[in-house]
Amino acid sequence: MSIWVRVGDFVANVASTALTSVVEAVRTTFEGDPETRRRVSFSIAMIALSAKMAKADGVVTDHEIRAFQQIFSIPESERAHVARLYNLAKQDTAGYESYAAQMASLCGSGHPNCKCLEDILDGLFHIAKADDYVHEKELAFLTRVGEIFGFDEAHFQTIAARHVNLGDADPYVVLGLRRGASFEEARRRYRQLATENHPDRLAARGVPNEFLTIANDRIAAINVAWEKIERELKAA
C-alpha cells in the first residue's frame, strides 16, 4: 500500500486540528506496527516541518511549493489530506520546537546524529534553497531543528554544506574530512558515505520510496565534493 494512502487515511480520521494532537495520534494509532509508524511519522514530519520552515521567513514562495512537490510525489486522490496537514502547519512557526522534539522521538533512534533525522533535515534544506537563497531566518529555524534532533555542530555543518556554500572548505565539510587528509583517507570516506546514503539504506531507515529526491540530492552533493577533492589531491 502506498505511504500516501496510509497518511491520507490517518489524516482523514484525525478530528483534532491541533498539530501536537496529530503527532500523538501517530504514536498511539501505530503503536503495534513500528515499521508503518516510522514511515507515516517521517512523512508527516516532512510535510509539517517543511510548511513551518517555509513560513519562517514570513512568506511561502512558489519556488518553495515546487520544491515541496519535487520531494512529495502525491497521488491526486490523497492531495486533499496532505494539503490539510500542510495548511494546518504553515499557519505560523509557533510551536515548531515542541513539534520537532515529538517527531524526533518517533522518527529518531535516540542516538546523536541519527541518519533518519538527517534525511528530514536534508529535505528541509532542499525546500529552503529552492529560491536560490537560504534566508537567515530559515537557517536559524534549521539550526534549531538540528539541535533538537541531536546533531552536533560539525555534523550539522556537514548537512548544511550539501546545500549552502560555506566557502573554500565546502567539499571537505560535505564529506566530513579534515584539510590535509590523504588521497586514500579521502577515498575511503567517500566510499563509506556513498554506501551509507544509497537509496536502499534510506528505505531500511523507514524513508518511503516516494522520497528518493532526498537520496538523489545527497548522493549528487557527495559526488561533486569527491570530484573536487580528488582533482585537488591528484594535482598535489
The contacts of residue 43 (CB under 8 Å, 6+ apart) are 3, 4, 7, 208, 211
How far is Cα 223 from Cα 217, in angstroms, rounded to an integer?
10
How far is Cα 43 from Cα 10, in angstroms, rounded to an integer?
12
DSSP letter assigned to residue 156: H
Predicted TM-score of the model (pTM) = 0.80
Give CA separation, 8 vs 12, 41, 68, 77, 83, in Å.
6, 13, 17, 9, 10
For the chain, domain boundaries? 3-235
Q: What is the pLDDT of residues 76-111, one digit of tens each?
A: 777 777 777 777 777 656 678 888 888 888 787 788
Name which of 48, 228, 62 is nearest 141 in CA terms. 48
How far is Cα 100 from Cα 18, in angstroms, rounded to an integer?
14
Taking the CB of residue 16, how many other CB atoms lie within 10 A of it? 11
Q: What is the pLDDT of residues 124-177, one digit of tens each?
A: 888 888 777 788 888 999 999 999 999 999 999 999 988 887 665 589 999 999
Q: Is the pLDDT of residue 16 over 60?
A: no
